[in-house]
Structure 1
Amino acid sequence: MGVFRDAAKAVNGSYGIIYLHDDSDKEHFNEFQVFVFKHSECSKVRDKMLLPCIPVIEAEIYNKNIQKEK
């Protein structure tokens, strides 16, 4: 997050959104982390559209893995 905040301050007037999905993150493995850039600031917000990743966007992969375990 620090790198994103530094980038937002370095480029005055920058704006945008970064969606980050890290399935190795024990706390956020099943969700996107969303970083919002506006007015030279960066904030982290919770994604509401793709949460939780399983089964919302990865249902097919999830279901195949469940079937293999049986």
Structure 2
Amino acid sequence: MTLTGPETRNQINNPNPIVAPNLPWKFELEGRDSLDNVVAKYGFELRQWFVHRADKRFSVSEQARPVSLAL
């Protein structure tokens, strides 16, 4: 499963804060059988949002710096 959020591809050189979602977000996934009966449930809470906006030339440790987001 992939969670997607604010698009940053076109903002790589933009120094302004990226719009971030209001957290936490609660998710519940349901598995269903062929009769549409729920046979499995999985829930989780998204508490942190990470944005990678570093230059590809930076090392992994340099890219891991915290990013300030305007909420």
Q: Which has the larger radius of gyration?
A: 2
- Select the structure with the greater relative contact order (CA < 8 A; seq sep ≥ 6): 2
TM-score interval w.r.t. the shorter chain? 0.3 to 0.5
Q: TM-score, normalization: structure 1?
A: 0.32
Name the structure where helix makes up a greater proportion of residues: 1
